[in-house]
C-alpha cells in the first residue's frame, strides 16, 4: 500500500485548516469576493474591513503589490470559507483572533511552527544489521590438500558471523529525511538519534516514511526443510515446484523423517544443522623424519542454509541443502619403519707458528722480519653414527559417505514449495523446502 | 398582507437553490476573439454557475490573448486544451471553478513509496557439477566441484533508467518528483496512479525474471530403443513406467546448475618421498550420478546443454611399497572406475524429455518450463 507523504513544500497548505484563537465572531460574517487579478494589498484592505485589524509580516508587506489574486464568488459566503480558500490557493496563512487577523506566508508560518524533535531512528530498525550465518560444510567439500588436491573451500563454508552489509550510510539517512522535511535543519547524533527542526505535519510525514522503511526492513520469513526417504519402487510424481498441499501430502510418506526450521530477516543468510561430528586422522605429514598425523573433523547429517529476499510476488531464495550419511568405512595403516640414523662428522683445523734460527751464512740486520714457519693440521672426527630411529605406525581413517547437496537460487512464488529427489541407498531421498506461516 | 403558501415557498426556494447549484456542464460554449484567457475562464465559470478562484503564480498565463470558437466542447476537451496550451488544470472545488498550475497540482498529489528491487538486482550464479574423474595428485581433478561462477550484478541504475524512460517519462522533470536509490531499494516520489504503474512494471519484471526450468533425471527400465528426444505426449506415456526421478535440478533460464548424489571416499592416491619417509597424498574419489544442465528457453523448446556423468563399479586395489628388507613403506589405493559420460546440446520440448542410452541403461532428462508471465 502506498504511504502518503506530506511533501513539505508550499503545496502542503492543502492539508491545514484555519488557525482560530478563541471566539472569533467575524468569521461568520458573509462576504462576496470580487477580486479580478487584484493586488494582495487590495484584498487585505477588504479583509480588514470585514474582519479585524490586520497584522502582517515583513514578507507579506513585500508581496502586497506584487501578488495578484483572482477570487470571484457568485454569492455571499462565510468569511471563514473565504480565508480558507485563500490559504489553499495563495500560499498564505491566516490566524484569526477576536481583535486581529494575522496574515503571513506559508514559509513564515512553517518556520514559526517548527520545533526541535528527536527521532530515534533505531526504533524504526533503520540501522539494523543482522549477521549472516554461513553453514559449515557437511562431508567432503574438496580433496584433502596434503601435497595434492586443490584445497579450496567450495561453499565458503565458514561458521563465522558476518554482517550482510545492509546498514545504511548515516549521511544517506540524514539526506533522505532532510529531503522529506523541506531541507530542515537536522543533525544525526550517536545511537541513531536525529535532532531535526520540523512542524507537527512534517513529523507525521517523516514518521510515516520511517514506518514504511521499518516494515520493509523487519520483514521476516520462516522456512522448513523436511528430509526423508521413500522405499525403493514407490512412486514420486511431484518434484520441482509444487503447491504446499502437495508437499503436505508427501511428507507423511517419508521414512526417517527429519525436519529443520529457520527464520530469517529479509536478506539475511541463516542455517540449521542436524549433524554428527567425528574427529579422525585422515592424513599424514612428514616432519623431522617422523609421521605427523593430521586430525580433522568430519560432519555428517542434514543441514540447510537459506537466504530469502522478499520481492513483490516472489521470494528470491538462495539455498544450499545438504544430506550426508556415513557408510561403512575402512582404515589403512602406514608404517615408517625403524632405521639407522645417518652419521655425522666434524673437521678441526689447527695452525701453529714456529720461530726459525737465522739462515746459515747470513747475519741479520736491524729491521729484518724474524724467520717463522706456519704449520696447519686438519683432523676429522666422526660422531653419533649408528643410532637407531624407532618405527612408527599410524592408522589412517578413510570414511565413506553418501552425499547429496542440492543448491541454487530460485524465484519462488510465495505460495509454492520445492521438492528435490535423489537416489539413496534406502530408496529415494526426498527434501521438501517450504515457507512457514 | 398576503402570505405565500408553503408549496409556493418551497418552489421559490428550490428555484433559488437551483440558480446557485454549481454544476459541471456536459458541454461548454467557448468563444473569444483576441481576449485574455482570464475572460474565457470567467465564461466557463459562468456556465458552471460557479465562482472562480485562480491559484497563485499563474496570473501571467491568464493575460495571454485567446481567439477561439468552440461550440459544444466537452469538459474533457476543454481541460485537455488548457493543460496542453497553458499547463493549467481546471476543476470544480466547492462553489468555485479552481484554476491551478498543472505542475503544482501534480506536486500536490505526490506520495513517496519504497520499492525493494533486490530480487531483480541480485547476481544469479552458475553452479557447475563435478566431473567424477579419478583425481590426479597435484592437479585440479581432485576437486569435487569447480568453483561457482557468479554472474554480473544488474546495476540498480539500469532500473532507474527503465522506469524513467517507460513510465510517465514527461513527469520526472517536475519539481518534487524523484527517484533515488536508498539501501538497495528505490525511493520514488510520484503521484498514486504512476506509482501503480511502477509497481505493476516491477512486478512484471519480476515475473519475467522468475522463468525457470525443472530438469528431472530418470533411470528407465531396459526397453525398446527410444528416439533421442520425446515430445510431451510421448514422454508422458514413458513416464508411467518409472517410479521416481533419480535427480532433480531447478535452474533459472540461462542458468547452469547440477545434481550430484553418490558415494565419496578418501583414498591414498600417491606418496611423496620426504625426509627419507613416504608422505601419503590423500585424495577424494566419487562415484554416483552427476547431471549438469544449462537451459535456454526458446519458442521451439528448451535448448539444454547436458553434461551427464555416471561413475560406478568402483574397485580399489591396495598396492604396498616395501623396502629391500621387506618392510612396508606405504600403501597406495589404485582405483578402477567405470565412467560413462555424455556432453551434448538438445532442443527438448517443454514437458518432453531427452533419452540417453548408457552402458545398457537408459537415462531420460525431462524438462518443465515454469513461466509466470502467462497469467491463468
Quote the pLDDT of residue A78.
94
Quote the pLDDT of residue A146.
35
Q: Report which of A340, A320, A272 is spatially closest to residue A154, judged by C-alpha positions.
A: A320
List of chain B residues whose C-beta atoms are within 8 Å of the C-beta of residue A30 = none
3 state SS of A1: coil
Helix or strand run (H / E) with residue B97: strand B96-101
Give pLDDT tens digits for A78-126: 999 999 999 999 999 999 999 999 999 998 998 888 999 999 988 998 8
Q: Report which of A75, A1, A82, A5 is spatially closest to residue A44, judged by C-alpha positions.
A: A82
Quote the pLDDT of residue B224.
67
Distance CA B158, CA A90 (A): 40
Handedness of CA A7, A10, A11, A16 (dihedral sign): positive
Quote the pLDDT of residue B128.
87
Region class of A65: left (phi > 0), else alpha (psi between -120 and 50), else beta: alpha
Give pLDDT tens digits for B6-40: 555 544 444 444 445 888 888 999 989 999 999 99
List of chain B residues whose C-beta atoms are within 8 Å of the C-beta of residue A314 = 119, 206-207, 210, 372
Residue B227, exposed/middle/buried by CB under 10 A (0-12, 13-18, 19+)? exposed
Give pLDDT tens digits for A240-251: 999 999 999 999
Q: Phi, psi (5° rounding) for residue B218? A: -120, 145
Residue in A closest to B55 by C-alpha: A89
- Report the range of poorest mean pLDDT among A180-194, A318-332, B6-20: B6-20
How many CB pairs lie under 8 A apart between chains A and B? 330
Q: Indicate the pLDDT class of residue A163, thresholds 50, 70 and 90.
A: very low
Distance CA A266, CA A262 (A): 13
Q: Listing from the earlier edge strand, what are the strands of the sheet with B88-93?
A: A34-39, A68-72, B51-54, B96-101, B88-93
Better-predicted residue by pLDDT, A155 or A271: A271
Helix or strand run (H / E) with residue A50: helix A40-50
Quote the pLDDT of residue B139.
54
Q: Across the interface, do B53 and A89 touch by the CB < 8 Å criterion? A: yes
| DSSP-assigned letters across all residues of B274-311 | ETTEEEEEEEEEEEEEEEEEEEEEETTEEEEEEEEEEE
List of chain A residues whose C-beta atoms are within 8 Å of the C-beta of residue B180 = 176
pLDDT(A158) > 50: no
Residue in B closest to A292 by C-alpha: B279
Q: Are B74 and B80 in contact (CB under 8 A)?
A: no
Cα of A302 to nearest chain B Cα, Å:
14
What mean pLDDT comes out for the span A161-186?
A: 72
List of chain A residues whose C-beta atoms are within 8 Å of the C-beta of residue B263 = 327, 400-403
Quote the pLDDT of residue A23.
92
Which of A159-173, A345-359, A389-403, B106-120 reaches the highest mean pLDDT?
B106-120
Quote the pLDDT of residue A326.
92
Percent of chain A scored above 70 by pLDDT?
A: 78
Radius of gyration of the CA atoms of chain B, in A = 39
- Report the range of poorest mean pLDDT among B90-99, B140-149, B204-213, B293-302: B140-149
pLDDT(A156) > 50: no
Which of A332, A432, A433 best tests the B interface by mutation, with the highest count of B CBs <10 A? A332
Q: How confident is the prediction for chain B on average, in pLDDT?
A: 85
Quote the pLDDT of residue A222.
97
Q: Across the interface, do B56 and A91 touch by the CB < 8 Å criterion? A: yes
Angle at B118 between CA B114 and CA B122, to 5 degrees: 160
List of chain B residues whose C-beta atoms are within 8 Å of the C-beta of residue A73 = 51, 95-96
Instruction: Count the helices and strands in chain B (H runs, E runs).
Output: 9, 17
Residue A373 touches partner B, C-beta closer than 8 Å: no
Quote the pLDDT of residue B343.
93
Quote the pLDDT of residue B339.
87
Fill in the DSSP letter of residue A124.
G
What mean pLDDT comes out for the span A403-414?
A: 94
pTM: 0.79
What mean pLDDT comes out for the span B107-127?
A: 87
Which of A166-180, B111-125, B294-308 reaches the highest mean pLDDT?
B294-308
Q: Phi, psi (5° rounding) for residue B135? A: -70, 140
Give percent helix, percent strand, percent coil of chain A, each to the nearest 5: 20, 50, 30
| DSSP-assigned letters across all residues of B230-282 | E-HHHHHHHHTT----SEEEEEETT-EEEEEEEEEEEEEEEEEEETTEEEEEE
Q: Which of B145, B263, B333 sits opposite A327 (nearest CB)?
A: B263
| DSSP-assigned letters across all residues of A250-272 | HGGG-EEEEEEEEEEETT--EEE
Q: Are A93 and A103 in contact (CB under 8 A)?
A: yes
What mean pLDDT comes out for the span A315-330?
A: 93
Q: Are B123 and B150 in contact (CB under 8 A)?
A: yes
Give pLDDT tens digits for B242-277: 889 999 999 998 899 999 999 998 888 888 877 777
Cα of A129 to nearest chain B Cα, Å:
12
Chain center to CA of A426? 40
Amino acid at each position: 500500500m502506498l504511504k502518503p507523504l506530506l511533501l513539505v513544500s508550499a503545496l502542503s497548505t492543502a492539508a491545514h485548516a484555519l488557525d482560530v484563537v478563541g471566539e472569533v465572531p467575524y468569521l461568520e460574517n458573509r462576504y462576496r469576493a470580487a477580486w479580478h487579478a487584484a493586488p494582495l494589498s487590495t484584498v487585505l484592505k477588504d479583509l480588514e474591513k470585514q474582519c479585524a485589524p490586520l497584522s502582517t509580516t515583513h514578507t507579506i508587506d513585500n508581496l502586497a503589490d506584487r501578488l495578484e489574486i483572482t477570487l470571484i464568488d457568485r454569492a455571499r459566503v462565510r468569511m471563514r470559507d473565504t480565508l480558507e480558500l485563500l490559504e489553499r490557493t495563495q500560499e498564505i496563512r491566516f490566524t484569526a483572533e477576536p481583535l486581529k487577523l494575522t496574515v503571513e506566508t506559508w514559509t513564515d508560518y512553517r518556520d514559526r511552527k517548527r520545533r526541535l524533535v528527536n527521532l530515534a531512528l533505531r526504533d524504526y530498525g533503520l540501522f539494523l544489521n543482522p549477521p549472516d550465518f554461513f553453514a559449515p560444510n557437511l562431508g567432503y567439500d574438496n580433496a584433502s590438500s596434503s601435497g595434492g588436491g586443490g584445497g579450496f573451500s567450495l561453499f565458503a563454508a565458514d561458521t563465522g558471523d558476518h554482517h550482510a552489509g545492509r546498514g545504511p550510510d548515516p549521511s544517506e539517512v540524514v539526506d533522505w529525511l532532510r529531503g522529506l522535511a523541506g531541507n530542515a535543519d537536522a543533525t544525526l547524533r550517536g545511537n541513531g538519534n536525529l535532532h531535526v527542526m520540523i512542524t507537527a505535519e512534517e513529523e507525521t510525514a517523516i514518521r510515516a516514511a520511517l514506518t514504511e522503511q521499518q516494515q520493509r526492513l523487519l520483514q521476516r520469513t520462516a522456512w522448513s526443510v523436511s528430509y526423508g526417504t521413500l522405499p525403493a519402487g514407490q512412486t514420486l510424481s511431484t518434484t520441482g515446484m509444487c503447491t504446499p498441499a502437495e508437499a503436505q501430502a508427501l511428507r507423511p510418506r517419508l521414512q526417517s523423517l527429519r525436519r529443520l526450521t529457520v527464520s530469517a530477516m529479509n536478506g539475511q543468510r541463516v542455517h540449521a544443522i542436524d549433524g554428527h561430528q567425528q574427529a579422525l586422522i585422515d592424513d599424514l605429514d612428514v616432519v623431522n623424519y617422523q609421521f605427523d598425523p593430521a586430525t580433522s573433523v568430519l560432519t555428517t547429517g542434514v543441514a540447510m542454509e537459506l537466504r530469502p529476499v522478499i520481492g513483490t510476488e516472489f521470494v528470491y531464495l538462495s539455498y544450499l541443502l545438504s544430506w550426508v550419511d556415513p557408510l561403512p568405512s575402512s582404515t589403512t595403516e602406514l608404517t615408517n619403519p625403524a632405521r639407522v640414523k645417518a652419521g655425522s662428522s666434524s673437521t678441526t683445523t689447527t695452525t701453529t707458528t714456529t720461530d726459525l734460527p737465522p739462515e746459515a751464512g747470513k747475519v741479520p740486520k736491524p729491521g729484518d722480519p724474524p724467520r717463522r714457519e706456519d704449520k696447519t693440521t686438519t683432523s676429522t672426527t666422526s660422531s653419533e653414527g649408528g643410532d637407531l630411529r624407532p618405527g612408527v605406525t599410524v592408522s589412517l581413517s578413510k570414511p565413506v559417505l553418501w552425499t547429496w547437496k542440492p543448491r541454487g537460487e530460485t524465484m519462488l512464488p510465495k505460495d509454492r514449495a520445492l521438492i528435490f529427489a535423489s537416489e539413496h541407498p534406502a530408496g529415494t531421498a526426498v527434501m521438501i523446502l517450504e515457507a512457514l506461516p | 398582507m398576503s402570505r405565500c403558501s408553503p408549496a409556493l415557498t418551497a418552489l421559490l426556494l428550490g428555484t433559488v437553490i437551483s440558480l446557485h447549484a454549481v454544476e459541471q456542464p456536459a458541454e461548454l460554449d467557448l468563444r473569444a476573439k483576441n481576449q485574455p484567457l482570464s475572460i474565457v475562464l470567467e465564461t466557463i465559470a459562468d456556465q458552471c454557475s460557479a465562482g472562480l478562484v485562480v491559484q497563485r503564480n499563474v496570473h501571467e498565463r491568464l493575460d495571454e490573448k485567446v481567439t477561439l470558437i468552440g461550440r459544444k466542447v466537452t469538459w474533457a476537451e476543454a481541460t485537455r486544451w488548457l493543460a496542453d496550451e497553458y499547463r493549467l488544470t481546471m476543476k470544480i472545488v466547492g462553489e468555485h471553478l479552481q484554476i491551478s498550475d498543472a505542475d503544482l497540482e501534480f506536486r500536490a498529489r505526490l506520495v513517496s513509496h519504497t520499492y525493494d528491487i533486490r530480487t531483480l538486482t541480485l547476481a544469479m550464479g552458475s553452479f557447475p557439477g563435478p566431473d567424477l574423474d579419478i583425481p590426479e595428485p597435484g592437479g585440479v581433478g581432485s576437486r569435487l566441484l569447480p568453483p561457482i561462477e557468479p554472474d554480473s550484478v544488474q546495476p540498480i541504475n539500469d532500473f532507474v533508467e527503465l522506469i524513467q524512460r517507460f513510465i510517465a517519462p514527461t513527469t520526472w522533470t517536475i519539481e518534487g518528483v524523484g527517484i533515488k536509490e536508498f539501501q538497495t531499494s528505490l525511493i520514488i516520489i510520484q503521484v498514486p496512479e504512476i506509482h501503480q504503474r511502477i509497481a505493476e512494471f516491477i512486478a512484471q519484471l519480476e515475473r519475467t525474471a522468475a522463468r525457470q526450468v525443472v530438469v528431472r533425471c530418470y533411470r528407465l527400465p531396459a526397453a525398446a530403443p527410444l528416439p533421442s528426444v520425446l515430445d510431451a505426449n510421448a514422454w508422458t506415456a514413458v513416464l508411467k513406467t518409472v517410479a521416481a526421478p533419480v535427480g532433480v535440478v531447478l535452474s533459472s533460464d540461462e542458468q547452469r546448475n547440477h545434481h550430484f548424489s553418490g558415494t565419496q571416499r578418501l583414498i591414498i592416491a600417491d606418496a611423496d618421498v620426504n625426509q627419507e619417509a613416504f608422505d601419503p597424498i590423500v585424495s577424494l574419489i566419487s562415484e554416483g550420478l552427476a547431471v549438469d544442465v544449462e537451459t535456454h528457453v526458446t519458442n521451439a523448446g528448451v535448448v539444454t546443454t547436458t553434461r551427464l556423468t555416471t561413475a560406478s563399479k568402483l574397485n580399489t586395489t591396495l598396492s604396498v611399497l616395501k623396502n629391500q628388507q621387506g618392510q612396508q613403506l606405504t600403501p597406495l589405493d589404485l582405483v578402477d572406475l567405470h565412467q560413462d559420460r555424455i556432453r551434448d546440446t538438445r532442443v527438448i520440448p517443454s514437458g518432453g524429455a531427452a533419452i540417453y542410452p548408457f552402458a545398457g541403461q537408459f537415462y531420460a532428462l525431462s524438462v518443465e518450463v515454469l513461466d509466470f508471465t502467462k497469467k491463468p
